[in-house]
Amino acid sequence: MAKDVKIGLEVHGYLITKEKLFCRCRAIRHSAKENIKPNTFVCPICCGYPGSKPMLPNAEAIKKIVQIALMLKCKVNTAEQKKSLVWQRKHYNWPDLPKGYQNTISGAYSVPVAENGIFENARIREIHLEEDPASWNPETGCIDYNRSGLPLAEIVTEPDFCSAEDVVEWLKQLILTLSYIKAVDKNAGIKADVNVSIGKKSGAERVEIKNINSIENIKKAVEFEIARQEKEGTLRETRRFDEQSGKTMKMREKEESADYRFIPDPDLPVIKISGKVVKEIMERLPETPQEKLQKLVKKHKIDKKSAEVLSKNLEIVEFFEDVSEKIPADFALPWVVVELLRVLNWNKKTLEEVDIKPEHFIELLEAVKNKGITELKAKQILNSFVPSSFSIKQKLKGAGRITDKKEIEKICKQAIEKNPQAILDLKEGKQEALNFLLGEIMKLSQRRAD
Kindly list the residues in this chain that would bind ligand ADP in the complex (CB under 6 A): 6-10, 156-159, 195-197, 202-203, 206
CA 242 – CA 239 distance, rounded (Å) = 10
Residue 23 touches which member of ligand ADP, Zn ion, none, C-beta under 5-8 Å by kind: Zn ion
CA dihedral 271, 275, 279, 280 (to 10 degrees): -50
In the complex with Zn ion, the residue whose CB is nearer, 45 or 392, is: 45
* Chain residues that interact with Zn ion, rule: CB under 5 A: 23, 25, 43, 45-46
Q: How far is CA 291 from the centre of its chain?
A: 18
In the complex with ligand ADP, the residue whose CB is nearer, 78 or 195, is: 195
DSSP 308: H
Query: What residue number has its CB nearest to ligand ADP?
Result: 8
In the complex with Zn ion, the residue whose CB is nearer, 43 or 351, is: 43
In the complex with Zn ion, the residue whose CB is nearer, 25 or 105, is: 25
Nearest distance from C-beta of residue 123 to ligand ADP, angstroms: 9
In the complex with ligand ADP, the residue whose CB is nearer, 203 or 334, is: 203
Residue 335 main-chain phi, psi, to 5 deg: -65, -30
In the complex with ligand ADP, the residue whose CB is nearer, 179 or 197, is: 197
Nearest distance from C-beta of residue 45 to Zn ion, angstroms: 5
DSSP assignment of 286-303, as one string? PPPHHHHHHHHHHHS---
DSSP 338: I
In the complex with ligand ADP, the residue whose CB is nearer, 263 or 285, is: 263
Residues 234 and 199: beta-carbon distance below 8 Å: yes
In the complex with ligand ADP, the residue whose CB is nearer, 157 or 313, is: 157
Nearest distance from C-beta of residue 25 to Zn ion, angstroms: 3
In the complex with ligand ADP, the residue whose CB is nearer, 167 or 381, is: 167
Residue 25 touches which member of ligand ADP, Zn ion, none, C-beta under 5-8 Å by kind: Zn ion
Residue 133 touches which member of Zn ion, ligand ADP, none, C-beta under 5-8 Å by kind: none
Q: Is 316 helix (H, G, I), strand (E, B) or coil?
A: helix
CA 57 – CA 43 distance, rounded (Å) = 16
Residues 121 and 160: beta-carbon distance below 8 Å: yes
Decide: residue 25, CB within 10 A, 0-12 exposed, 13-18 middle, 19+ buried: buried
CA 126 – CA 115 distance, rounded (Å) = 4
Residue 43 touches which member of ligand ADP, Zn ion, none, C-beta under 5-8 Å by kind: Zn ion
Nearest distance from C-beta of residue 329 to ligand ADP, angstroms: 42
Residue 203 touches which member of Zn ion, ligand ADP, none, C-beta under 5-8 Å by kind: ligand ADP
Residue 130 touches which member of Zn ion, ligand ADP, none, C-beta under 5-8 Å by kind: none
CA 255 – CA 302 distance, rounded (Å) = 52
**If we measure between CA atoms, which residue out of 262, 275, 312, 241 comes closest to residue 81?**
275
Nearest distance from C-beta of residue 6 to ligand ADP, angstroms: 4
Judged by phi (left if over 0) then psi (alpha if -120 to 50, else beta), residue 149 lies in left
In the complex with ligand ADP, the residue whose CB is nearer, 182 or 210, is: 210
Nearest distance from C-beta of residue 208 to ligand ADP, angstroms: 6
Could you list the beta-strand ranges (E) of 42-179.
75-76, 88-91, 101-104, 114-119, 122-131, 135-136, 143-144, 151-157
Distance between start and end Cα atoms, the chain = 60
Nearest distance from C-beta of residue 234 to ligand ADP, angstroms: 8
* 237 DSSP β-pair partners: 207, 253
Maximum C-alpha span of the chain: 91
Nearest distance from C-beta of residue 137 to Zn ion, angstroms: 20
Strands 151-157 and 135-136: unpaired
Listed in sequence order, the DSSP H helices in 120-188 are 164-180
Q: How far is CA 115 from the centre of its chain?
A: 23
